[in-house]
């Protein structure tokens, strides 16, 4: 008897998830539309929809167009049934958002980070996250999860194995946050969550095979293959910032030399600029380029050519539909894009170039934080399906 009940409960959960996904994708829908879309009979759909309405995940909204008989009541997903926290933990900043279940930003905060030792960062991160949680309106599911993007290698247990620019090794970030807040926590590399953010909410929507190049202090890459994030055998991949582009180039802290990020990152730009007496950071350089400073425009073009060299290799290896430049250097698009495109067109193999698009982050510096929130939302829907 117990088995039968268990099986029935399982079938009901699966069918509920199917109905919910139909509404998420295609709303507004009537009960009859859902029955047609899913192949479930109308009585089953009506009962499952009632459960979803009772759980405040779905609501009735107005009357749809009739195809003959009585006009149907339409259904839509209640995006405010729960909220997610997204965090972009940078080397020298914290950015956080609170979003509803469709990724609409309800609250957003940023904070400079001075220290980088794990204990110092936890001490700032905990109240920062709590502030976002406190900003959430009351809802059926409350805070469904916290997603965090970090500039380093993360294993499947959410431990930051190595974050070179913060000098972190083996920091169990997911466990620490999970203990504090008692809600599910997802940790991933910032380039991976940046790729997810652009795929879900930005210029990467609908692109099947996408390489997201996060150009900040270092360079990270997130790989979307067939619309899924590619994580590699151990949960980490995409350390393309350490592609060698100069066989006898500068030494890198990774142990190799001539790595791409030494020539094409924000850090590379700032070092080059400092030699010429510009010490005000990226904002100063953008303003100078805007004001017509040819020397600064030349520096951006130089970085653009170096970016193009690495992107040519990526295009040749992965044959993606698009390569997307994101993170801080996407702000310099207007000063980079000619140099990037000319270099890629000159260097990448002709066949590979035919369908590849060179894109720039639509979410700008928010790609990672939105992707981090999305990982928490996606995990919530997976739990709903298997709860």
Write out the residues near Zn ion by the rule CB under 5 A.
242, 252, 254, 256, 259
Smallest distance from the beta carbon of 256 to Zn ion, in angstroms? Answer: 5
Crossing angle for the helix pair 2-26 and 367-386, nearest 10 degrees? 150
Smallest distance from the beta carbon of 182 to Zn ion, in angstroms? Answer: 38
Round the CA-based radius of gyration of the chain to a whole number and report it: 23
In terms of CB distance, is 117 or 256 closer to Zn ion?
A: 256
CA distance 258 to 248: 6
In terms of CB distance, is 86 or 241 closer to Zn ion?
A: 241
In terms of CB distance, is 24 or 245 closer to Zn ion?
A: 245
Smallest distance from the beta carbon of 239 to Zn ion, in angstroms? Answer: 8
Smallest distance from the beta carbon of 31 to Zn ion, in angstroms? Answer: 57
Smallest distance from the beta carbon of 263 to Zn ion, in angstroms? Answer: 11
In terms of CB distance, is 112 or 255 closer to Zn ion?
A: 255
In terms of CB distance, is 29 or 262 closer to Zn ion?
A: 262
Smallest distance from the beta carbon of 218 to Zn ion, in angstroms? Answer: 9
In terms of CB distance, is 242 or 272 closer to Zn ion?
A: 242
Query: What residues are paired with 211 via a beta bridge?
Result: 223, 323
């Amino acid at each position: 008897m117990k088995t039968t009940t268990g099986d029935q409960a399982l079938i009901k959960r699966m069918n509920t998830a199917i109905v919910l996904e139909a509404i998420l994708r295609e709303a507004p829908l009537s009960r009859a539309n859902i029955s047609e879309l899913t192949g479930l009979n109308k009585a089953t759909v009506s009962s499952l929809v009632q459960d979803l309405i009772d759980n405040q995940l779905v609501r009735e909204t107005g009357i749809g167009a009739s195809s003959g008989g009585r006009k149907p009541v339409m259904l839509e997903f209640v995006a405010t049934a729960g909220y997610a926290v997204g965090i972009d933990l940078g080397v020298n900043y914290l950015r956080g958002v609170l979003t509803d279940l469709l990724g609409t930003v309800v609250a957003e905060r940023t904070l400079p980070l001075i220290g980088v030792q794990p204990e110092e960062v936890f001490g700032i991160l905990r109240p920062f996250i709590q502030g976002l949680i406190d900003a959430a309106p009351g809802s059926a599911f409350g805070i469904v999860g916290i997603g965090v993007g970090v500039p380093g290698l993360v294993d499947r247990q959410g431990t930051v194995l190595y974050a070179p620019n913060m000098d972190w090794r083996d920091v169990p970030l997911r466990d620490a946050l999970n203990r504090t807040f008692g809600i599910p926590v997802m940790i991933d590399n910032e380039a991976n969550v940046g790729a997810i953010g652009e795929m879900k909410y930005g210029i990467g929507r609908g692109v099947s095979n996408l390489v997201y190049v996060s150009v900040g202090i270092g360079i990270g890459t997130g790989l979307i293959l067939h619309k899924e994030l590619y994580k590699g055998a151990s949960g980490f991949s995409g350390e393309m910032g350490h592609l060698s582009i100069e066989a006898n180039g500068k030494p890198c802290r990774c142990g190799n030399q001539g790595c791409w990020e030494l020539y094409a990152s924000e850090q590379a730009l700032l070092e080059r600029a400092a030699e010429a007496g510009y010490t005000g950071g990226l904002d100063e350089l953008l303003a100078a380029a805007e004001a017509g400073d040819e020397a600064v425009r030349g520096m951006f073009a130089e970085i653009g050519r170096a970016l193009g060299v690495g992107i040519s290799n990526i295009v040749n290896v992965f044959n993606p539909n698009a390569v997307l430049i994101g993170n801080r250097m996407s702000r310099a698009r207007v000063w980079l894009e000619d140099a990037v495109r000319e270099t890629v067109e000159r260097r990448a193999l002709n066949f590979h170039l035919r369908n590849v698009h060179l894109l720039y982050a639509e979410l700008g510096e928010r790609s990672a934080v939105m992707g981090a929130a999305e990982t928490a939302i996606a995990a919530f829907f997976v739990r709903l399906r298997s709860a």
